[in-house]
């Protein structure tokens, strides 16, 4: 884990990779829970038998938004910001889903700092580059530029 004690240290890290998270397994149970929470119960996510018959992967696939929802966990697992009182999600510049995530896959996040700019009220707006990798796959599941504002 990389520890940043001051905002100027984060600014100095722009353009660098700050870390790679541990793996997280995307189980069918997680996919089913996400489907219930969001109402997105399309068969490619929740119908295991049909997926075995009809999908090239032979298994259900995770929702793209479920894959993306792991990003905060990945970021927090590789970066520690000392002296920060709170952090707000500011949005995203870009999100692309490049490869479906079959149920049972393991994902991890590769995190870079793409930009860091002062924000009102003693904050720092940071754009994180997040590449969500699938174990044993060449192409990532998702690439995104996610923005957070950290306040001290």
pLDDT in tens, 1-12: 999 999 999 999
> What does the longest C-alpha to C-alpha distance in the chain come to?
55
pLDDT of residue 136: 97
Categorize the per-residue pLDDT at 118 as very low, low, confident or very high, splitting at 50, 70 and 90.
very high
Token pair listed for 13: 């890290």
What secondary structure, in 3-state letters, does the chain show? CEEECCHHHHHHCCCCEEEECCCEECCHHHHHHHHHHHCCCCHHHHCHHHHHHHCCCCCCECCHHHHHHCHHHHHHHHEEECCCCEEEEEEEEEEEECCCCECCCEEEEEEEEEEEEEECCCEEEEEEEEEEEECCCCCCCEEEEEEEEEEC
pLDDT of residue 23: 98
Task: Determine if the pTM surpasses 0.75.
Answer: yes
Smallest CA-to-CA distance from 1 within 18, 23, 17 is with 18
Spatial distance between the Cα atoms of 71 and 39, rounded to a whole number of angstroms: 21
> How many domains does one find in the chain?
1
The pLDDT of 120-125, averaged and rounded, is 96
Categorize the per-residue pLDDT at 68 as very low, low, confident or very high, splitting at 50, 70 and 90.
very high
Q: Write down the mean pLDDT value for the chain.
A: 97
Count of all residues that appear for the chain in the document: 152
> In this structure, what CATH number is given to the domain that contains residue 125?
3.10.129.10
Domain region containing 93: 2-151
């Amino acid at each position: 884990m990389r520890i940043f004690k001051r905002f100027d240290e984060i600014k100095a890290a722009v353009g660098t990779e700050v870390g790679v998270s541990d793996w997280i397994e995307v189980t069918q149970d997680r996919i089913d829970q996400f489907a219930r929470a969001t109402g997105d119960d399309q068969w490619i996510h929740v119908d295991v038998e049909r997926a075995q018959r009809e999908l090239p992967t032979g298994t259900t696939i995770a929702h793209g938004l479920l894959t993306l929802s792991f990003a905060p966990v990945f970021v927090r697992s590789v970066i520690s910001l000392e002296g920060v009182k709170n952090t707000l999600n500011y949005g995203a510049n870009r999100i692309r889903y490049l490869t479906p995530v079959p149920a049972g896959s393991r994902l991890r996040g590769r995190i870079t700092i793409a930009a860091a700019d002062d924000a009102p009220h003693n904050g720092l707006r940071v754009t994180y580059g997040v590449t969500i990798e699938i174990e044993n796959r060449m192409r990532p599941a998702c690439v995104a530029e996610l923005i957070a504002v950290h306040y001290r």
